[in-house]
A = this chain, B = another copy of it.
Amino acid sequence: VAIEFFSERGFNGVSIRDITREVGIKESSFYKHYKSKDELLDTIFGYFNSELAKAKVPEHIDNEPVLKTINPLIYLNRAFEIFKSYADTSVMAKIYRIAVTEQFRDARARDILIDLYEKSLPLLERYFNLILQQKKATHLNPKILANCYQFALHAMVAEFSLLKQYRQDTAIIEQRIAELNAFFGELIKNF
């Protein structure tokens, strides 16, 4: 219930009473399970981190032989589809949304986002490096290419996730992500 509520109204927008009312217990019962409201958020972020640590990278996202044969545009779109399916439904996506909205107030939220960036960046970097070598485009730095793509993608995914949260239309942002992927796909083809 807390994950649901925090992801919709933010940490400060939800009181202990809001949560316990929904659960069907009194607010005093809450303190039999958590020392404080803050420890509850700790638990939520801790869960996110432990689940993330367990997560495995899909084969077709980080398998060199497979990557060499795949069309760049298809690769990028597939990576985004995985992202999107997460952002649509899962508990993890809700916690991600909490992190996005709390990032300016809470160091733990910020750490989660930084961790995500640092997890996905090497994947992209390896991929772009592979492609650049294939195309012999050694004058371009794969790290910066990955950084640029990732920054743009993350900003858009964060926006996509927020639109989902407020049940607004996500068509425009999905279109923009498709364009971004198309642009990078095109760029890579012409290296």
Q: Interface of A with B (CB < 8 Å)?
A: 10, 12-13, 100-101, 104-105, 139-141, 144-145, 147-148, 151-152, 154-156, 162, 176, 179-180, 182-184, 186-187, 190
Contact = CB atoms under 8 A, between A and B. Distances in A.
Given A12-B12, A151-B152, A141 B183 contact: yes
A94 B182 CA distance: 36
How many copies of this chain sit in the oligomeric assembly?
Answer: 2
Given A12-B12, A100-B104, A101-B104, A151 B141 contact: no
B186 A140 contact: yes
A176 B155 contact: no
A129 to B, nearest CB: 14
Given A151-B152, A156-B151, A140 B10 contact: no
